[in-house]
Chain A
Amino acid sequence: MVTRPPVIAEWLVRQTAPADMREALLGDLCEEFVLRGSPGGRRWYWKQALVSAAQWVPASLLLLLPGYLLPLWLLDRLWALLLSSIPLKEDAVRAWPMLAINLVVACLLGAAVRLPSGALVLGAAVLILAASVRLPLDYCCLFLVLPALASKWPARKVKRV
């Protein structure tokens, strides 16, 4: 008898579900999985995980775009402008925009507006988007890191009874 829900499906739910309902949802899924038993429970769990993720990811992406991409793009433009005004020696290669500072400032911006939980899944989607506009690889990796960091930020506060 299988008593453990499918690990990858559980991970998918954990990464995509809003933080304030994540544990309750995983508990509910686990409860139903045990009730249904294997293999029906496993199939059912996967279906729920996929349907739920498909529902949450687009909404989260909509929040992610103005929340991360716009500040990052603005920061990138700012550093590019500042760096372009510094004269370089002949043959010197201009250093890549200040990734670390961009990261810190973007995280602070994200924390300031309390973005909803991010996820690697969302990051991957943004990575594809970033790659499609041919951003440098290390810059694309930043998009993977940010949503993961965002998931550690406090979730929206809801009044409880």
Chain B
Amino acid sequence: MKEYLGEFEQLVMLALLRLGDSAYGMSVRREIEARTGRDIAIGAVYATLDRLEGKGMVASKTGEATEDRGGRAKRMFLPTAAGLSALQASREAVARMSQGLELEGLVW
């Protein structure tokens, strides 16, 4: 059965793809904020990454610890094949649902 991602999960997955090897919680938050203009809580990013990791759509490894992080290590994230597949399925579903619809000027 195909798995789909929620809207914020898609944003997080896309941010991971954009950031590549340098993707960790705060860089994901900055990327989403910079590209969408949305004020994102870091807690929401981590909760989403944790959920995606639990579903096997994201993998993580421990990164570097720096002084400005209070000596705490980063947790680096990478999308897995399952995650990419779910992202693709979700994007296709939205594209199919949007096909032929003109939202601009549509009012109730």
Contact = CB atoms under 8 A, between A and B. Distances in A.
Are the chains A and B members of one assembly?
yes
Nearest to B62: A160
B99 to A, nearest CB: 35
Interface string A25-38: 11111111011000
A160 B60 contact: yes
Interface stretch (B10-18, B40-48, B82-90, B100-108): B40-48
Nearest to A16: B43
B25 A28 contact: yes
A24 B61 contact: no
A158 B72 contact: no
A27 B72 contact: yes
B38 to A, nearest CB: 13
Interface stretch (A47-55, A78-86, A101-109): A47-55
Interface string B9-52: 00000000000000011100100000000000111101101100
A28 to B, nearest CB: 4
A102 B77 CA distance: 41
Nearest to A53: B43
B59 A159 contact: yes
B96 interface: no
A21 B59 CA distance: 13
Interface string A135-161: 000000000000000000000001111
A17 B43 contact: yes
A56 B44 CA distance: 9
Interface string B61-75: 110011011101111
Q: Which 3 A-B pairs have the closest CB atoms?
A: A52-B43, A27-B72, A24-B75
5 contacts: A28-B42, A30-B70, A51-B44, A52-B41, A55-B47
Interface of B: 24-26, 29, 41-44, 46-47, 49-50, 53-54, 56, 59-62, 65-66, 68-70, 72-75, 78
